[in-house]
Structure 1
């Protein structure tokens, strides 16, 4: 396994873990603050927009390289 393959695999695995961890943090924040259903949805929507933006950017970069 060369360095480029290792970097790609570790990026996918660790980034997925980070996204899952951030989802848990948002869920815990909503639960501890007693945000309710609407507040929890708002937290996940607004804070999840950054994750969605990162994923869209990655997909667009891969499409542009073809």
Structure 2
């Protein structure tokens, strides 16, 4: 396994773990602050949009920029 393959796999695995951990942090924050259903939904929506934006950016780069 060369360095490029290792870096690709490590990035995908570590980012997945980081996103799951951030989801746990948001859930714990909402639970400890007693945010309620609406507050918890807003926390996940707003903070989840940041994760979605990062994933969407990577998809755009891979399909629009790199194939040229």
Q: What pairs up with 1:1-66 in 2 under 5 angstroms?
A: 1-64=1-64, 65-66=66-67
Structure 2: gaps of 5 or more residues: none
TM-score (norm: length of structure 1): 0.98
Mind listing any 5+ residue stretches in structure 1 that lack a counterpart? none
TM-score (norm 2): 0.95
Give the whole-Å Cα distance in 1 for the aligned partners of 2:29 and 2:56. 26
Q: CA RMSD in A?
A: 0.5
- Aligned residue pairs, count: 66
The runs of 4+ residues in structure 1 deviating greater than 3 Å are none
